[in-house]
Amino acid sequence: MRLSERVAEFKTARQVQAAGIYPYFREIDSDQDTVVRMNGRDVLMMGSNNYLGLTSHPKVKEAARDAISRFGAGCAGSRFLNGTLSIHHECEDRLAEFLQKEAVLLFTTGYQANVGAIATLAARNTWLIADALSHASIMDAVRMSFGRIAKFEHNDPQDLERLLKAHEEHEKIVITEGVFSMEGDTARLPEIEALCRKYDADIILDDAHGVGVYGKHGEGTAGHFDLIDQTDLIVGTFSKSLAAIGGFVAASEPIIHYLRHHARALIFSASPPPAVVGAVLAALKIIMEEPERRDLLWRNANYLRKGLQNLGLDTGHSDTPIIPVVVGDAINTFTVCKMMQDEGVFINPVVPPAVQPGQSLIRFSVMSTHTLEQIDFALDKIKKISQIIPFRPEAADSNPHPNGIEPKDPQTVSPLPVESSGK
């Protein structure tokens, strides 16, 4: 079979497009604020990772412009060769201080940060033990590595201990997210850390959705639990609270030194452009100087979650600004997204294989800059739509891959793209 014939067999997305409920690649014609411009009309944005509302902050935009004026639009090379600017080192130093780690290494995307850290550090005898619902960048990194793979049931320390005990004689790295991007729940990090200490395992914490959100100063999930020193690597992204795009790894100086000279995702990729790094530096300064943004974020998250629950909607185990609502059927989920946008609210769909069959959901993400009136507007619209479209989990007795673990045979995976938090 030729490539053209094989790709032509992928028909699902076109069928959903023809039905008028295709939810991906929706065009936005404004900055990523609480209200965005779509198709000539204002839409309330409830599906962005812009948790602290900094992507459109005047100081962040000014810092990006200043960085371009000083350093130009790009670096024209990798960090390893000609692409390291003084602003990169400044950002790494500032982040290391903020995250209370010895050193930080910048990557061009958060995806590359996970690939660079995990695929580089795992040796042939290393067992990589990851939460079953880890982000795709983690799973891809694990598959690219020379290590061996095991998955523990989502946020389940008991199942993690089973795997740690089974591989007690091997080198082990446990990988978890701090805040899970689909479910909106928080890792049971104290229990995970205690098990890693008991079984002599290292921890890699992907805190993409935790930095800026958790911690006394916004330093993230490890800071929230006072476990920064016990967390060996913290991987993060700039595309959430830090208002730009890019990624980083924070760790001890020897680990960062090793990654600088071995991480292919760093060495063979172009350097983060100056505007991005300038924006991150400005966002980091605002996060430290304006803790009230974090307070407002949590106020809004708790208000929306309680409002959804009062409507009788299932928000799962969410305890963060990421709030899923279980719809059940995938087509109903796409329909709800379309109807919400028609009513003036942007939300995101999550369908298999990101969730179990029959457990498709919509995902709200709040910002600190949302007003309670805007949240009430969204609640009013979802109430109206939930009275038209049934919101209930469907029976999934035939589900061959529980706990959201994707099947080994890629042909059994739904060919329709799934929602991604992005890295």
Identify the DSSP state of 379.
H
Rounded mean pLDDT, 71-89: 96
The single-letter code of the amino acid at 212 is G
pLDDT of the residue at 398: 35
Question: What separation in angstroms does the CA of 31 have from each of 35, 213, 283, 371?
Answer: 9, 21, 16, 18
Place of tokens 């229990």: 191
Whether the per-residue pLDDT at 143 is higher than 90: the answer is yes
The answer as to whether 126 is a domain residue is yes
Rounded mean pLDDT, 75-102: 97
Residues 263 and 121: beta-carbon distance below 8 Å:
no
Same domain, 393 and 263: no
CA distance 332 to 391: 8
Identify the DSSP state of 334.
H
Enclosing domain of residue 342? 9-45+291-399
Same domain, 160 and 251: yes
Rounded mean pLDDT, 139-168: 96
- Identify whether 257 is a catalytic site residue: no
Q: What is the largest CA-CA distance in the chain?
A: 61
Same domain, 199 and 238: yes
Residues 298 and 363: beta-carbon distance below 8 Å:
no
CA distance 156 to 277: 37
The single-letter code of the amino acid at 138 is I
Whether the per-residue pLDDT at 421 is higher than 80: the answer is no
Same domain, 234 and 118: yes
| Residue 369 confidence class, pLDDT cut points 50, 70, 90 | very high
Identify the CATH number of the domain in which residue 332 sits. Answer: 3.90.1150.10
pLDDT of the residue at 393: 76
Q: What angle do CA 405, 406, 411 make, to 5 degrees?
A: 160
- How would you class 366 by CB atoms within 10 Å of its CB: exposed for 0-12, middle for 13-18, buried for 19 or more? buried
The two tokens of residue 62 are 């000014």
CA–chain centroid gap for 235, Å, is 11
pLDDT of the residue at 303: 98
Same domain, 185 and 239: yes
Same domain, 308 and 381: yes
Percent of the chain with pLDDT over 70: 94
Residues 116 and 167: beta-carbon distance below 8 Å:
no
Same domain, 247 and 146: yes
Outline where DSSP puts E strands in 318-359. Answer: 322-328, 345-346, 348-350
Question: What separation in angstroms does the CA of 324 have from each of 248, 328, 370?
Answer: 27, 12, 18
Helices 189-198 and 157-166: crossing angle in degrees, nearest 10, is 20
Same domain, 30 and 81: no
Of the residues 181, 241, 271, 365, which is catalytic? 181
The answer as to whether 418 is a domain residue is no
pLDDT of the residue at 422: 74
- How would you class 116 by CB atoms within 10 Å of its CB: exposed for 0-12, middle for 13-18, buried for 19 or more? buried
- Rg of the chain over CA atoms, in angstroms? 21
Identify the CATH number of the domain in which residue 228 sits. Answer: 3.40.640.10
The answer as to whether 320 is a domain residue is yes
The answer as to whether 337 is a domain residue is yes
Of the residues 135, 209, 224, 381, which is catalytic? 209
Same domain, 283 and 295: no
Same domain, 284 and 296: no
> Among 252, 272, 289, which residue terminates a domain?
289
The answer as to whether 408 is a domain residue is no
Whether the per-residue pLDDT at 412 is higher than 50: the answer is no
The two tokens of residue 336 are 């709800």
- Identify whether 383 is a catalytic site residue: no
| Residue 410 confidence class, pLDDT cut points 50, 70, 90 | very low
| Residue 405 confidence class, pLDDT cut points 50, 70, 90 | very low
Residue 186 has φ and ψ, to the nearest 5°, of -105, 140
Chain segment 195-207, per-residue pLDDT in tens: 999 999 999 999 9
Same domain, 110 and 255: yes
Look at 347 and 410; give whichever has higher pLDDT: 347
Q: Name the 3-class secondary structure at 226.
A: coil
Place of tokens 């109807």: 339
Question: What separation in angstroms does the CA of 158 have from each of 162, 165, 196?
Answer: 6, 11, 12
Give how many domains the chain has, as a whole number: 2
Of the residues 240, 338, 370, 381, which is catalytic? 240
Residues 360 and 332: beta-carbon distance below 8 Å:
yes
The two tokens of residue 367 are 């910002």
Q: Find the range with the poorest average confidence among 33-47, 139-153, 406-420.
A: 406-420
Place of tokens 């040796």: 123
- Identify whether 240 is a catalytic site residue: yes
Whether the per-residue pLDDT at 418 is higher than 90: the answer is no
Instruction: List the one residue out of 420, 307, 272 whose CA is nearest residue 353.
Output: 420
Same domain, 190 and 211: yes
The single-letter code of the amino acid at 155 is N
CA distance 184 to 31: 25
pLDDT of the residue at 354: 80
pLDDT of the residue at 408: 31
Chain segment 273-329, per-residue pLDDT in tens: 999 999 999 999 999 999 999 999 999 999 999 999 999 999 999 999 999 999 999
Predicted structure pTM score: 0.91
pLDDT of the residue at 414: 37
| Residue 402 confidence class, pLDDT cut points 50, 70, 90 | very low
Residues 363 and 45: beta-carbon distance below 8 Å:
no
pLDDT of the residue at 395: 52
| Residue 105 confidence class, pLDDT cut points 50, 70, 90 | very high
Mean pLDDT of the chain: 92
Report the helix count and the strand count for the chain, using DSSP H and E: 15, 13
CA distance 352 to 413: 8
Q: What separation, in Å, do the N-terminal and C-terminal C-alpha atoms of the chain show? A: 34
The answer as to whether 50 is a domain residue is no
